[in-house]
A and B are shown apart, each in its own frame.
Chain A
Amino acid sequence: MAFLPVFLWSDLVIWLLVAALGLLAWGVARTPPLGAAWGRVLHSRTGMASLAVLALFVAVGLLDSAHYRPRLADAPQNGQGSGAGAAPAYGVEVLSLLDALLTPLRTQVEKTYSAPLATRAYAKEMQEVRQPDGSLVQQRDFPRLKFGGAHLGSEESAWAGDVARRLLQGYGLAILLWAALAIFLAGRLARRRQCSFRQSWRELWRRPPTSTAPAWDALLLTLAGLFLLLTPLLALAPEYHVLGTDKVGQDVLYQILKSIRTALVIGLVTTLVTLPVGVLLGIAAGYFRGWVDDLIQYLYTTLSSIPGVLLIAAAVLMMQVVIDTHPEWFATAAERADLRLLALCFILGMTSWTGLARLLRGETLKLSQLEYIQAAQAFGVSSWRILLRHILPNVMHIVLIALVMDFSGLVLAEAVLSYVGIGVDPTMISFGTMINNARMELAREPMVWWSLAAAFVFMFILVLAANLFADVVRDAFDPRAA
Chain B
Amino acid sequence: MLAYLLRRLLYAIPILIGVNLLTFALFFVVNTPDDMARMQLGVKRVTPEAIAKWKAERGYDAPLFWNGEAAGLEKATRTIFFTKSARLFVGDFGAAEDGRDIATEIRTRMGPSLAIAIPTFILGLLVTVSLALLLAFFRATALDFWGVVACVAMMSISGLFYIIGGQWLISKVWRLVPISGYVEGLDAWKFLLLPVAIGVVAGIGSSARWYRTIFLEEMGKDYVRTARAKGLSESVVMFRHVLRNAMIPILTGVVVVIPLLFMGSLLTESFFGIPGLGSYTIDAINAQDFAVVRSMVFIGSVLYIAGLILTDISYTLVDPRIRFD
Contact = CB atoms under 8 A, between A and B. Distances in A.
Interface of A: 298, 301-307, 309-311, 313-315, 317-318, 320-322, 324-325, 408, 412, 415-416, 419-422, 431, 435, 439, 442-443, 452, 456, 459-460, 463-464, 467-468, 471
B15 A301 contact: yes
B160 interface: yes
Given A302-B18, A305-B19, 11 more contacts: A306-B304, A314-B26, A317-B290, A322-B30, A322-B35, A325-B31, A420-B285, A421-B285, A421-B286, A435-B164, A463-B156
Given A301-B15, A456-B158, A317 B285 contact: yes
B301 A306 contact: yes
Contacts of B267: 416, 419-420
A431 B23 CA distance: 30
B317 interface: no
A309 to B, nearest CB: 6
Interface of B: 14-15, 18-19, 22-23, 26-27, 30-31, 35-36, 38-39, 152-153, 155-161, 164, 167-168, 172, 260, 263, 266-267, 270, 281-282, 285-286, 288, 290, 293-294, 296-297, 300-301, 304-305, 308
20 contacts: A306-B23, A306-B297, A307-B300, A310-B296, A313-B285, A314-B26, A314-B294, A318-B26, A318-B31, A321-B36, A321-B39, A322-B31, A325-B38, A412-B158, A420-B267, A442-B172, A452-B164, A464-B156, A468-B152, A471-B152
Given A302-B18, A460-B157, A460-B158, A317 B152 contact: no
A460 B164 contact: no
Sorted nearest first, the 6 A-B pairs with minimum C-beta distance are A302-B18, A464-B156, A307-B300, A463-B156, A305-B301, A305-B304
B96 to A, nearest CB: 15
Contact of B156 (A305, A309, A322, A467): A467
A310 B300 contact: yes
B3 to A, nearest CB: 20
Contacts of A421: 282, 285-286
Contacts of B23: 306, 314
Contacts of A435: 158, 160, 164
B contacts with A: majority SS: helix
B172 A420 contact: no
Contacts of A420: 266-267, 270, 282, 285
A306 B25 CA distance: 14
Contacts of A431: 158
Nearest to A306: B301
A298 B308 CA distance: 14
Contacts of B290: 317
A311 B297 CA distance: 7
A314 B153 contact: no
B243 to A, nearest CB: 23
Contact of A307 (B36, B152, B168, B304): B304
Given A310-B296, A415-B158, A442-B164, A321 B18 contact: no
A442 B30 contact: no
B157 A313 contact: no
Contacts of B270: 420
A375 to B, nearest CB: 33
Contacts of B30: 318, 322
A305 B15 contact: yes
A388 to B, nearest CB: 30
A280 B142 CA distance: 43
A302 B20 CA distance: 10
Contacts of B266: 309, 420
Given A314-B23, A318-B31, A302 B300 contact: no
Contacts of B281: 310, 313
Given A321-B31, A463-B156, A314 B19 contact: no
B58 to A, nearest CB: 15
Contacts of B293: 310, 313-314, 317
Contacts of B161: 456, 460
Contacts of A456: 157-158, 160-161
B21 to A, nearest CB: 9
A298 B18 contact: yes
Pick the most buried of B156, B282, B301: most chain A CB atoms within 10 A of its CB: B156
A460 B322 CA distance: 43
Given A301-B15, A325-B38, A419-B267, A310 B297 contact: yes
Given A313-B293, A315-B26, A302 B156 contact: no
Contacts of B300: 306-307, 310
A317 B293 CA distance: 9
B301 A443 contact: no
Given A314-B26, A322-B31, A307 B158 contact: no
Nearest to A449: B168
A323 to B, nearest CB: 10
Pick the most buried of A318, A322, A325, A467: most chain B CB atoms within 10 A of its CB: A318
Contacts of A416: 158-160, 267
Contacts of B152: 464, 467-468, 471
A416 to B, nearest CB: 6
Pick the most buried of A313, A422, A435, A471: most chain B CB atoms within 10 A of its CB: A313
Contacts of A415: 158, 160
